[in-house]
């Protein structure tokens, strides 16, 4: 059973606008959440993370929000750039050894 879900397989956004990618999880034990970005023919690369003791973490154009009561996290990219076009995976862990990934959202930023 999928413990981490990304319900939007794809998202298209105009360059300069905000991209919002969503992720839901079912396991309340998860206490650490990550976002990875993946280009075709490459492995995923780490983007940003958040601990369950926080509700927001920022890194440049990227901000992750965590709503523990709703078991929901989101990644905001502002402003979106064409180079942000990629597949984004959210992931969660509570042991630090096992990681559970979502199904991915393919983001297209239109110039």
Positions that interact with other proteins (CB under 8 A): 2, 4, 6, 31-32, 36, 41-46, 49, 51, 89, 91, 93, 96-104
CA atoms in the 13 A half-sphere facing the CB of 72: 8
CB atoms near residue 109 (< 10 Å): 21
Q: Answer left, alpha or beta for residue 21, where phi above 0 means left and psi between -120 and 50 means alpha.
A: beta
Q: Which is nearer to other proteins, 62 or 101 (CB)?
A: 101
Q: Which is nearer to other proteins, 43 or 83 (CB)?
A: 43
Backbone CA torsion sign across 95, 97, 103, 108: positive
Q: How far is the CB of 1 from other proteins (least distance, A)?
A: 10
Q: Which is nearer to other proteins, 49 or 74 (CB)?
A: 49
Q: What Å distances lie between residue 49 and 53, 82, 89, CA to CA?
A: 12, 22, 12
CB atoms near residue 76 (< 10 Å): 16
Q: Which is nearer to other proteins, 1 or 111 (CB)?
A: 1
Q: How far is the CB of 22 from other proteins (least distance, A)?
A: 14
Q: How far is the CB of 84 from other proteins (least distance, A)?
A: 19
Q: How far is the CB of 93 from other proteins (least distance, A)?
A: 5
């Amino acid at each position: 059973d999928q413990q981490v879900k990304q319900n939007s397989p794809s998202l298209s956004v105009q360059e300069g606008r905000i991209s919002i990618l969503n992720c839901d999880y079912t396991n309340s034990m998860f206490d650490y959440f990550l976002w990875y970005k993946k280009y075709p023919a490459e492995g995923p690369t780490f983007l940003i993370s958040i601990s369950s003791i926080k509700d927001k973490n920022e890194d440049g154009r990227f901000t992750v929000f965590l709503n523990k009561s709703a078991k929901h996290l989101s990644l905001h990219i502002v402003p979106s750039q064409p180079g942000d076009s990629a597949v984004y995976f959210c992931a969660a862990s509570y042991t630090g050894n096992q990681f559970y990934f979502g199904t991915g959202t393919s983001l297209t930023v239109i110039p």
